[in-house]
A and B are shown apart, each in its own frame.
Chain A
Amino acid sequence: MATETGVLDDALARASTGDEAGFLELWRALQPRLLRFLRVVGCEDPDDVASETWLQVVRDLHRFSGGEEDFRRWLFTIGRHRAVDAARARARRPAGTATSGLDILADTQQVEDQVLEGMSVQDAVALLSRLSRDQAEAVALRVIAGLDTLDVAKILGKSAGAVRVALHRGLKALADDPSVRELAGRHAKRAAALGTGRLAGQSPAAGAAGPGGPGSAASFWKLEEVD
């Protein structure tokens, strides 16, 4: 899964000339991280904000020059701005029936879902978003977006020193959070029981193609039986 920085340079160059395959390569690589970043910063409709972000990126892509690093910094800068805009727009609207009764009822099932799925990306994002805004943004841009400290500082409008302080405080707060330890411990235990190195990192659809694969019905139920 992990790839070297710069592998998207070719896709970026092709997308800039209107190549759809190049754009899809970029989108597939960066959309999940953009969504996770938006969730960490508390965006209430990350799908919508991500769509707005990509729309602006595509419209201005012909004016962009630079490599993958520059593109990621640009993408997440736009994403952060759009998230701020969305939050302001939401604040201007009167409070309405934002939460349906069904959602409240369904949330009570999340513990059951976690048992089925192990430590999910959703859990991890939720834990990260419990940090202070400054710390969560710094850690998310550094870890999820994969930007270096200087780029994070530029996006947040802070000095590199201030970002380093926020990063270290955020990491310490996460390490001291019992929920992080509990979830990680449960995840490791389950992974060991199933003989897999990692559960949360697996794509549920990845093995759906063949019988008996990780996404097949058999392994899906095996997961529940172990729990």
Chain B
Amino acid sequence: MISDPPGDIGPLDPAVDELFRTLTSEPTPAELAGEQSALAMFRANIFPPDSSATAPIPTRRSAAEPKPSVTRLFRRPGGWGIRLAAAVVIVLAVAMASAAYTAVLPQPVQLLAHRVLGFAGVPNPPRSGHTGGSRGHHRGTPTSGRSGNSQGHATPGQSAPGRAPSPSAHKSATPSTSPSPSPSATGPAQLSASASSAEIPAGSQVVIDGQLTRSATGVQGVTVQLIERFVGHRFWHLAGTGQTTADGNVAVTVSAVPANAVFRLRVPHVAHSASVLVTVVPQVTATLIKGAAGLRDTLAVSTQYAHSGNVVKLEVQTGGGWTYLRQRRLNAAGKTAFVLNGSRLKNLEVRVVLVATARHAAAVSNTQAVPLPS
């Protein structure tokens, strides 16, 4: 954490001081529970360092970082030779630009100038038969890079849920890596998805299978992204990638699923599957701890992948069924306890049920037999 409570707001009442100490205390496990999700979000949304060149908002420049300018170049220590050379280069550049604008350069040079500076209005060579230059012309323009056009170059600044800018995203966004033509060339591509299991133990792995088809034929060699969104969260993050086989099948394994999650396969700008929900079942363990006189036994409950505040219910087996006795909430360590009345529950079996939440399914603990009072 950052710092102790500030001392410049005057002497504190001891009770308030204690309150502030608590407010700035170490984080609880529940507060750090979303770490993996946050890391996945970071991976999916962090920009490459060089993307700042296209950032529309100027950065705040510190005093120690001088603003670069053309005039500053001439103030740097160095011989006049460097300054003279720079001046010559500038003069030549201006002259070349002027010549390019008036289209008086030799044809190959004019064509090159048009390709480089076409966005600024430099014309084609007068007798050029080149008709396909517009594509190259637009490739260098700033608007082309931001548009997220059919070339599949998604812009990080436009990243929306499910549009994670990552190296794999750029790679898979171009289906031309496939031996087959682009799926959008001859008909709409379809992507299916299914989970190896709709309900898994919390923290275990799941495999998402899918098939990329076009006109009922599998599309081979396309990189497919698996994106994941935890239930209750709004953003998607990249969970893995896979390559389609000859029949268009793909399987992506997610090594550990800690909470209920929705998965979706996608080929950016081409197709995405329907959502697949995978629910997780936390592990709940009930341990009986005998009391001193055998009258106040304690049923200790510990959980994994459940959260602080989750409700657990104590049940007792009577008449062939389970009867609800009472409930408690898990503490920050995912634990709680029930004090058992040994004289009333003697020889009966008890268990604990973790109530389902948005993050996980319901879970049932092992059973424990309440011993006779000694």
Binding site for B on A (CB under 8 A): 1-5, 8, 15-18, 20, 23-24, 27-33, 35-36, 47-48, 50-52, 54-55, 58-66, 72, 102, 105-106, 109-110, 112-113, 116-117, 119-121, 123-125, 127-128, 142-146, 148, 167-168, 171, 174-175, 180-181, 183-185, 187-188, 198, 200-206, 208, 215, 217, 220-221, 224
- A3 and B55 in contact, given A51-B234, A121-B22, A175-B15 (Cβ under 8 angstroms): no
> Considering the chains assembled together, what is the distance between the CA atoms of A9 and B289 in angstroms?
48
Write the residues of chain B forming the contact surface with A, with a CB cutoff of 8 angstroms: 1-6, 9-10, 12-16, 18-29, 31-32, 34-35, 37-39, 41-43, 45-49, 51-52, 55, 57, 59-62, 156-157, 159, 232-235, 287, 289, 298, 300, 302, 309, 311, 327-329, 331-333, 335-337, 355
Residue in A24, A65, A183 whose CB lies within 8 Å of B62: A65
- Which of B39, B235, B337 contacts A20 (CB under 8 A)? B39
Residues on A with beta carbons closer than 8 Å to the beta carbon of B328: 106, 109, 112-113
Given contacts A48-B232, A62-B51, A201-B21, 6 further A-B contacts (CB under 8 A): A23-B38, A28-B35, A31-B27, A119-B18, A124-B23, A220-B333
* B329 adjacent to A180 (CB under 8 Å): no
- Once bound together, how far apart are the Cα atoms of A215 and B29, in whole Å? 12
Instruction: Give the complex CA separation of A63 and B56 in angstroms.
Output: 9
A-B contact pairs, 23 of them (CB 8 A): A1-B1, A3-B3, A18-B49, A20-B42, A23-B42, A23-B46, A27-B38, A27-B42, A28-B32, A33-B1, A48-B233, A52-B235, A54-B42, A58-B42, A59-B157, A59-B159, A63-B52, A63-B55, A106-B329, A110-B329, A143-B24, A148-B6, A183-B15
**Distance between B144 CB and nearest chain A CB, rounded to angstroms:** 21
B57: nearest chain-A partner, CB-CB: A63
Do residues A58 and B41 form an inter-chain contact, with CB atoms below 8 A? yes
Nearest CB of chain A from residue B146's CB, rounded to whole Å: 15
CA gap between A170 and B287 in the complex, in Å: 45
- Residue from A33, A102, A119, A145 within 8 A of B22 (CB atoms): A119
Docked complex Cα distance between A8 and B20 (Å):
22
Please determine whether B46 and A61 come into contact, CB atoms closer than 8 angstroms.
Answer: yes
Q: Which residue of A lies closest to B38 (CB)?
A: A27
**Contact partners of A143 in chain B: CB under 8 A:** 5-6, 20, 23-24
A123, B22: Cβ atoms closer than 8 Å = yes
Q: Are B15 and A167 in contact (CB under 8 A)?
A: no
Inter-chain CA distance A175–B43, complex, in Å, is 45
Specify the chain B residue showing the minimal Cβ separation from A185. B15
| Pairwise interchain contact B49-A174, C-beta atoms closer than 8 A | no
- Given the complex, which residues of B lie within 8 Å of A167, measured CB to CB? 9
The answer, among A23, A62, A120, A128, for a CB contact under 8 Å with B52, is A62
Q: Is the CB of A59 within 8 A of B47?
A: yes
By the criterion CB–CB under 8 Å, are B31 and A205 in contact?
Answer: no
A68 to B: closest C-beta gap in Å: 8
- Distance A54 CA – B309 CA, assembled complex (angstroms): 24
CB pair A30 B10 closer than 8 Å: no
- Report the Cα distance A106→B234, complex, angstroms: 27
Given contacts A3-B3, A146-B3, A180-B16, contact A109 B329 (CB under 8 A): yes
Asked whether B311 lies within 8 Å of A106 as measured between CB atoms, the reply is yes
Chain B residues with CB under 8 Å of A144's CB are 23-24
